[in-house]
Amino acid sequence: MLRCRGCSAGGLRTILDLGCLPLANGLLNERQVLEPEPTYPLILVFCSRCALVQITETLPAADLYGQYVYFSSYSDTMLGESRRIAERMIRVHRLNQNSRVIEIASNDGYLLQFYKEAGISVLGVEPASNVAAAAIGRGIPTVCDFFSPAIAQQLCEEGKRADVIHAHNVLAHVADIHDFFRGLAMLLESEGVIAIEVPYVRDMIEGAEFDTIYHEHLSYFSLSALHRIGELHALAITDVERLSIHGGSLRIFMTHAGKGTPLCDSVPRMLDEEQRCGLTSASFYEKFARRVERLRCRLVSHLRSLKSKGARLAAYGASAKGTTLLNFCGIDGGILDFVVDRSPAKHGLYTPGTHLPIYNVEALLRQMPDFAVLLAWNWADEIVEQQSEYRHRGGRFIVPIPELRVI
């Protein structure tokens, strides 16, 4: 990619070069481990014109999402937050049996199930066939396809415009951002509202969260960048919230320009704050690479020291984040023995690049490694609570980001 996804400007400035890495969710079976594994450049850049942070490579979406191993319902934190936002939207927007809620990239129905329980019509759009099948199996109507203006037009013709559209943790994955927003504007009822959640680039940079960077995440958003994009499609951001989930996220609410609730003070306040802290200029990102390198050195040194003293090490969470962290840091079977994960879809497979076997979480108690690196550190509180028995028996968790610490 030579030009910005947001405004087509050239002259993008490199923030961080992570080298060539495998696909973050490209888990391998026993046969694939023996075959050559493709890797791709992973370079983070900044656009000075529109303030969009992005990676340079765009891989075919079908290669990334045709089959998918991430199921949202395996996170209790995610489910709890989903229930809360559904209940809030129902209450604030007075949704009833005549309303319709559509989620883009609806995964296994983790969010829409709470609207359905309230008697509200729901529809998911999910490109991964195995994940869509899981949603349909739990009674969530789901269109198995990539969202686009064509899909939006088809749904409109079927009389399925939405009073509420959710797009949680999908916008970062979209190659053609403007195509996506055209579809949203088309599908939204005249008085409807869009709720979008994205990882917040400010939190990523300030927390040195380099493992948020992988080939599925094409763009990394500030409110300033989202505001400019929305304006181009006559969509106004009426409210914004900062969330702690996923290491720091933004939740924005959008309506057709001139429609819906008045602009909340939170929007101009955060836009001004981003300007003042320099988030829209290249200088904000200049020290990121050095901070990431220091973090890498500390983590690898700590793990090697533990290993040299005879400690047995494993990891928790065969996550996309984990793929970036393990490969960039060179942490493989010479340091870690295995990885555990709650999702049965990952059991019996191997981590991309590092080829660590993935077991169920009960392996922590069966094999009792002295330390488990929390690759899914963004769910640290939830995981530590779930694995209280492991800690009671003397096991300890290593949280690698944003600062190395041991629990």
- pTM metric for this prediction: 0.89
- Report the CATH number that the domain containing residue 241 is assigned in CATH: 3.40.50.150
Tell me: the pLDDT tens digits for 352-389?
999 999 999 999 999 999 999 999 998 888 899 999 99
Asked whether residue 53 is domain-assigned, the answer is: no
**Entry field: residues in the chain:** 407
Tell me: the pLDDT tens digits for 203-218?
999 999 999 999 999 9
Tell me: do 392 and 307 sit in the same domain. Answer: yes
Structure tokens at 266: 């939170």
Tell me: do 126 and 224 sit in the same domain. Answer: yes
Tell me: do 240 and 197 sit in the same domain. Answer: yes
Tell me: do 233 and 323 sit in the same domain. Answer: no
Q: How many domains does the chain have?
A: 2
Residue 308 lies in domain = 303-406
Asked whether residue 135 is domain-assigned, the answer is: yes
Burial class (CB in 10 A: 0-12, 13-18, 19+), 7: middle
Asked whether residue 163 is domain-assigned, the answer is: yes
Last residue of a domain, one of 285, 311, 328: 285
* 3-class DSSP assignment, residue 110: coil
Rounded Cα distance, 109 and 122, in Å: 10
φ, ψ for residue 302, nearest 5 deg = -65, -45
The answer, yes or no, to whether the previous bond of 402 is cis (omega within 30 of 0) is: yes
Asked whether residue 77 is domain-assigned, the answer is: yes
Tell me the pLDDT of the chain averaged across its residues: 93
| 40, 306, 383 from 46: Cα distances, Å | 19, 38, 34
pLDDT at 198 over 60: yes
Tell me: do 186 and 246 sit in the same domain. Answer: yes
Asked whether residue 295 is domain-assigned, the answer is: no
Tell me: do 254 and 189 sit in the same domain. Answer: yes
Structure tokens at 323: 């793929």
pLDDT at 67 over 60: no
- Report the CATH number that the domain containing residue 362 is assigned in CATH: 3.40.50.720
Rounded Cα distance, 188 and 332, in Å: 47
Asked whether residue 183 is domain-assigned, the answer is: yes
Tell me: do 246 and 370 sit in the same domain. Answer: no
Burial class (CB in 10 A: 0-12, 13-18, 19+), 307: middle
59-68, 133-142, 167-176: segment of lowest average pLDDT: 59-68
Tell me: do 105 and 235 sit in the same domain. Answer: yes
Tell me: do 279 and 314 sit in the same domain. Answer: no
